[in-house]
C-alpha cells in the first residue's frame, strides 16, 4: 500500500473513532462550541487530504458535511435531531469508503448525490421548512460498496498507536539501565565455573538484546522527515539566482534514530545550499560547457553495515584544487611547497577548516567561510564522518557516514595506565598486535612514531601519555587500535584490549565537557564508571587530524606520493578475508556483512537436515562455506552473518583472518558454485564469494 494512503487511513481511523460520540454529545449540548469545532476540524482534515490524494467521491461527501458544520459554527443553522442524523449518515458513508480503500486501495464507485442534496438542502432552508426529501439511506441501503469483513474495520488504525516522545525517551533510559544490570550479571556469571545461574543469565542476555533492538526501533524515523523542506529550499534558491536546479531524492525511507535525525538536519541543509549556490552553474554557463541547462542535485541515503551513508552529489562546476591550495597559502594554513606536494584528496579537507571559503564574492547564501567547519563538527559530534571529493567541471560529492543510534552503541573496552576506556566501534578499523619480531616496523621520525602497516605509514598515539596517565611504556609487545576520522587513520597504543560490549552512553558532567578526548561515559559490568573516548578529539589533540601539522620529512613525502597515486586510482573498499578450508583465502566486501559472530557448539541445532541457531528471537539457518567442513570441529564456530531485506543467514567459516582495503577486480571467472571469481587481494590470489548463493540456500528452507 502507498505510504501516503496508509498514513491517511491511519490518521482518519484515529479521528473517526471518537467522532460518533462527539456528534451525539453535540446533539445533547448544542452550545458546546469546543466540541463543534473539533468535529469540524476532523471533517475538514479528511476533506483536505482527499483532494491531495485525488479521492473525488470522499471529498464531495466530506465537503458537503463540512459546509453544514460550518453553518452550525456561524449560527446560520441550529442543532436539530434530523440535521444531526444527516451528518451522522455522511460520517457513515465516509467510513464505508475508507473501509473499501483499505481493502482495494482504490476509491469505490457509487452515487452519493441523494446524501449530498440532503445536506445542501439544510443550507438552502435553514429552518427545515422545505419539503423533506426521501429518508437518508442508512448503512444497509447505502450505495453499493465492496464487501468488507467485520474484523477488517480499523485494521490499519489498530496497528498503530501514538506515543509521546517523552514516554519513549523514558523507556529508552529504563532499558539502558536494564542493559547495565545485564552486563553486571554476565560478568559475575562468567567468573564462576559451573554456575547454576549461567543458563538464566544467558536467557536474560538474549532477551535484553532483543528488547534493546525493539525499543530502539520505536525511536527510528525515516530520514525523509529531515528532507521535507529541501525541495522548497532548492526551488527558492534556484529562483533567486536565476538557475534551473532539479533535486532528486532516493532512500527517503531509510530509518535513523530521531536524535541523529535532528542532529543532521542543519548540516544537510547547509550542504544542499552549498551545492545550489557554489556547485550548479547558470544555464548559459552550463550550455557553453556542453551540459544540460538544468543542474541536478542528487540526495541519497542507504544502510551500510551498522551505519547510514548519506550522499549529496551535484553535476556542477566542481571545486578547483588549485584555488583551494592558493587560498590555504593566503590564510597561512600551508606553506607553498607543502601545498604543491599535497594530494587533492587532502587539499579538499581544508575546506572544512573554520573560516575557509573559495567563493570569489559573498552572497546572501554563502561565501563568508562559515558553515563547513560547523558541518564537520556536528557530524563528528554524533560519531559520524564527512568526506568531500570533487572533479573540476564535473561536480562534487559529499559523503556523510553516521551511526544508526547514539543511545546504545557497540564499543571496544581497552586499558591504559591502569584505567579502562570504551572506544566506539564505528571509529575502529582494526586491531594490531605488535610483537617483538615486528618492532622493526615502528619508525621514529623527528620524535614521532609511525608504524608501517601494509606499506602505509600509520601515525601512533600512545593513549597513556596523551591522557597523562603515567610514563610511556616500552614493552616488547603492545596493542594498536587503528582508528579512522574522516580520511585520516592513526594508531592508538593501549596497554590492554579486553572485549566488546553494548554500552549505554551517558553524558559527561559539565566540569569536563571542555575536554576533547571524551565523548561520554558508561557503567561497566562490574559497576565502574569509565569514559568513552572521542577518536576525533584524540586526533585533534595528537595533531594527526590535519595534514599540515605533520613535519616535512622524507617519510611524509613518501606518504603524500602514495596518497596521490591512490587518489588517481580506482577507489578501494574494505574486504573481509576468511579461511573456509580451501587452498585459497575467501573474501567478501565488508559492506555486505551484517555481523561477525562466534556460536558455541551447544547453540548449534539440527532440524530437518539443516543447521539452525536461535539468533535474536528467530531461527537462523547456518550453512558451511565449504561442503566438506565439519561444523562441530571448532568450538566456538566463527560465523559471518548476512542479511537482506527479508532474510538473515549465517555462513560458517574456519577462521576470520583480516579486514583490508583493496581494489577488488576479478581477474578470473569461477567454476565452483558460491564464488564470483578470483582477485589479487593483499598480494594473494583470493576467491571472492557470491553472497546471493548462500542467501538463496537459506531461502529454500524458509516457510513462505
Backbone angles phi, psi at 463, to 5 degrees: -65, -35
The mean pLDDT of 473-493, rounded to a whole number, is 82
Is residue 510 very low, low, confident or very high in pLDDT (cuts 50, 70, 90)?
Answer: low
Question: At residue 344, does pLDDT exceed 80?
Answer: no
Of the ranges 206-210, 547-551, 592-596, which one carries the lowest mean pLDDT score? 547-551
Question: At residue 560, does pLDDT exceed 90?
Answer: no
The C-alpha atoms of residue 380 and residue 305 are separated, in whole angstroms, by: 18
The C-alpha atoms of residue 179 and residue 36 are separated, in whole angstroms, by: 49
pLDDT for 163 equals 75
Burial degree of 163 (CB within 10 A; 0-12, 13-18, 19+): exposed
CB-side neighbour CA atoms (13 Å) of 304: 18
The C-alpha atoms of residue 586 and residue 487 are separated, in whole angstroms, by: 27
pTM of structure: 0.49
Q: How many CB atoms lie within 10 A of CB 81?
A: 7
155-184 pLDDT, tens digit per residue, is 555 666 777 777 877 887 788 778 778 877
pLDDT for 356 equals 67
Q: Which cell goes with 653?
A: 567459516
90-136 pLDDT, tens digit per residue, is 888 888 888 888 878 788 888 888 888 888 888 887 765 544 555 54
The C-alpha atoms of residue 103 and residue 92 are separated, in whole angstroms, by: 17
Is residue 358 very low, low, confident or very high in pLDDT (cuts 50, 70, 90)?
Answer: low
The mean pLDDT of 45-49, rounded to a whole number, is 81
214-272 pLDDT, tens digit per residue, is 887 777 788 888 888 888 888 888 888 888 899 999 988 888 888 788 888 888 888 88
The C-alpha atoms of residue 624 and residue 693 are separated, in whole angstroms, by: 12
Beta strands across the sheet bearing 585-589: 655-662, 573-579, 585-589, 684-689, 675-681, 668-669
CA distance to 13, 17, 256, 417, per residue, from 158 (Å):
8, 10, 24, 56
pLDDT for 700 equals 65
The mean pLDDT of 35-58, rounded to a whole number, is 82
CA distance to 200, 246, 424, 425, 504, per residue, from 501 (Å):
19, 45, 10, 10, 10
Instruction: Determine the 3-state secondary structure of 582 from DSSP.
Output: coil
Whether 208 contacts 179, CB under 8 Å: yes
pLDDT for 513 equals 66
Whether 209 contacts 201, CB under 8 Å: no
Could you give the angle at which helices 113-124 and 81-104 cross, rounded to 10 degrees? 150
Across the chain, what does the average pLDDT equal?
Answer: 79
Among 35-49, 156-170, 444-458, 499-513, name the most confident range: 35-49
pLDDT for 640 equals 92
CB proximity list for 70: less than 8 A, separation 6 or greater: 40
- Count H helices, E strands: the chain? 20, 30
List, in sequence order, every residue forming a beta bridge with 408; answer none if it has no partner.
Answer: 504
Is residue 306 very low, low, confident or very high in pLDDT (cuts 50, 70, 90)?
Answer: low
Pick 676 or 704 by higher pLDDT: 676
524-555 pLDDT, tens digit per residue, is 766 678 888 888 788 888 877 543 333 333 44
Whether 171 contacts 215, CB under 8 Å: yes
Cα 51 to chain centroid distance, Å, stands at 33
List, in sequence order, every residue forming a beta bridge with 449; answer none if it has no partner.
Answer: 444
Question: At residue 631, does pLDDT exceed 90?
Answer: no
Is residue 153 very low, low, confident or very high in pLDDT (cuts 50, 70, 90)?
Answer: very low
Pick 605 or 448 by higher pLDDT: 605
Question: At residue 454, does pLDDT exceed 60?
Answer: yes
Question: At residue 71, does pLDDT exceed 70?
Answer: yes
Q: Which cell goes with 519?
A: 565523548
List, in sequence order, every residue forming a beta bridge with 588; answer none if it has no partner.
Answer: 576
Question: At residue 653, does pLDDT exceed 90?
Answer: yes
The C-alpha atoms of residue 627 and residue 633 are separated, in whole angstroms, by: 14
Find the length of the chain: 704
pLDDT for 226 equals 82
Amino acid at each position: 500500500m502507498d505510504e501516503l494512503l496508509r498514513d491517511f487511513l491511519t490518521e482518519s481511523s484515529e479521528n473517526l473513532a471518537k467522532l460518533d460520540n462527539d456528534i451525539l454529545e453535540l446533539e445533547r449540548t448544542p452550545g458546546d462550541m469546543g466540541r463543534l469545532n473539533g468535529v469540524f476540524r476532523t471533517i475538514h482534515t479528511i476533506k483536505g487530504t482527499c483532494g491531495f490524494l485525488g479521492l473525488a467521491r470522499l471529498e464531495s461527501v466530506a465537503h458537503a458535511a463540512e459546509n453544514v458544520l460550518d453553518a452550525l459554527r456561524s449560527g446560520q443553522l441550529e442543532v436539530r435531531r434530523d440535521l444531526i442524523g444527516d451528518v451522522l449518515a455522511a460520517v457513515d458513508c465516509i467510513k464505508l469508503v475508507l473501509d473499501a480503500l483499505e481493502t482495494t486501495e482504490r476509491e469505490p464507485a457509487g452515487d452519493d448525490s441523494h446524501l449530498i442534496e440532503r445536506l445542501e438542502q439544510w443550507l438552502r432552508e435553514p429552518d427545515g421548512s422545505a419539503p423533506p426529501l426521501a429518508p437518508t439511506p442508512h448503512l444497509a441501503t447505502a450505495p453499493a460498496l465492496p464487501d468488507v469483513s467485520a474484523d477488517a474495520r480499523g485494521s490499519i488504525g489498530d496497528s498503530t498507536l501514538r506515543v509521546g516522545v517523552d514516554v519513549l525517551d523514558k523507556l529508552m533510559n529504563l532499558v539502558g539501565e536494564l542493559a547495565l544490570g545485564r552486563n553486571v550479571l554476565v560478568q559475575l556469571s562468567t567468573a564462576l565455573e559451573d554456575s547454576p545461574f549461567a543458563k538464566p543469565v544467558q536467557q536474560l542476555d538474549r532477551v535484553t538484546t532483543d528488547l534493546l533492538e525493539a525499543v530502539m526501533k520505536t525511536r527510528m524515523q525515516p530520514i525523509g522527515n529531515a528532507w521535507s523542506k529541501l525541495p522548497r529550499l532548492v526551488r527558492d534558491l534556484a529562483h533567486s539566482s536565476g538557475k534551473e536546479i532539479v533535486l532528486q531524492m532516493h532512500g527517503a525511507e531509510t530509518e535513523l534514530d530521531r536524535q541523529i535525525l535532528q542532529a543532521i538536519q542543519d548540516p544537510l541543509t547547509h550542504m544542499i545550499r552549498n551545492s545550489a549556490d557554489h556547485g550548479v552553474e547558470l544555464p548559459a554557463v552550463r550550455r557553453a560547457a556542453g551540459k544540460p541547462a538544468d543542474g541536478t542535485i542528487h540526495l541519497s541515503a542507504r544502510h551500510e553495515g551498522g551505519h547510514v551513508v548519506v550522499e549529496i552529489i551535484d553535476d556542477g562546476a566542481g571545486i578547483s584544487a588549485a584555488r583551494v591550495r592558493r587560498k590555504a597559502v593566503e590564510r597561512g594554513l600551508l606553506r607553498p611547497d607543502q601545498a604543491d606536494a599535497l594530494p587533492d584528496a587532502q587539499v579538499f579537507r581544508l575546506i572544512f577548516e573554520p573560516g575557509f571559503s573559495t567563493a570569489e564574492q559573498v552572497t546572501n547564501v554563502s561565501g563568508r567561510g562559515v558553515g563547513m567547519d560547523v558541518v564537520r563538527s556536528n557530524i563528528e559530534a554524533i560519531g559520524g564522518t564527512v568526506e568531500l571529493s570533487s572533479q573540476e567541471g564535473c561536480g562534487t560529492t559529499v559523503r556523510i557516514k553516521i551511526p544508526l543510534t547514539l543511545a546504545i552503541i557497540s564499543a571496544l573496552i581497552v586499558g591504559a595506565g591502569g584505567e579502562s576506556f570504551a572506544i566506539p566501534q564505528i571509529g575502529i578499523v582494526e586491531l594490531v598486535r605488535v610483537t617483538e619480531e615486528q618492532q622493526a616496523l615502528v619508525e621514529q621520525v623527528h620524535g614521532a612514531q609511525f608504524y608501517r602497516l601494509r606499506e602505509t605509514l600509520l601515525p601512533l598515539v600512545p593513549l597513556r601519555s596523551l591522557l597523562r596517565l603515567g610514563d610511556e611504556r616500552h614493552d616488547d609487545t603492545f596493542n594498536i587500535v587503528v582508528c579512522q576520522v574522516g580520511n585520516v587513520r592513526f594508531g592508538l597504543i593501549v596497554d590492554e584490549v579486553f572485549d566488546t560490549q553494548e554500552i549505554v552512553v551517558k553524558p559527561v558532567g559539565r566540569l569536563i565537557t571542555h575536554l576533547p578526548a571524551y565523548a561520554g561515559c558508561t557503567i561497566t559490568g562490574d559497576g565502574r564508571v569509565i569514559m568513552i573516548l572521542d577518536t576525533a578529539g584524540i586526533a585533534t589533540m595528537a595533531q594527526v587530524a590535519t595534514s599540515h601539522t605533520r613535519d616535512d620529512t622524507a617519510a611524509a613525502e613518501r606518504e603524500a606520493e602514495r596518497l596521490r597515486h591512490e587518489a588517481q586510482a580506482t577507489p578501494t573498499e574494505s574486504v573481509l578475508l576468511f579461511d573456509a578450508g580451501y587452498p585459497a583465502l575467501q573474501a567478501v566486501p565488508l559492506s555486505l556483512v551484517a555481523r561477525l559472530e562466534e556460536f558455541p557448539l551447544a547453540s548449534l541445532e539440527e532440524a530437518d537436515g539443516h543447521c539452525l541457531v536461535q539468533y535474536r528471537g528467530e531461527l537462523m539457518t547456518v550453512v558451511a562455506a565449504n561442503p566438506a567442513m565439519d561444523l562441530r570441529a571448532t568450538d566456538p564456530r566463527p560465523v559471518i552473518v548476512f542479511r537482506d531485506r527479508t532474510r538473515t543467514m549465517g555462513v560458517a567459516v574456519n577462521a576470520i583472518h583480516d579486514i583490508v582495503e583493496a581494489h577488488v577486480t576479478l581477474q578470473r571467472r569461477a567454476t565452483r558454485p558460491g564464488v564470483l571469481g578470483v582477485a589479487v587481494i593483499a598480494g594473494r590470489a583470493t576467491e571472492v564469494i557470491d553472497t546471493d548463493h548462500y542467501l538463496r540456500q537459506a531461502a529454500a528452507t524458509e516457510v513462505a
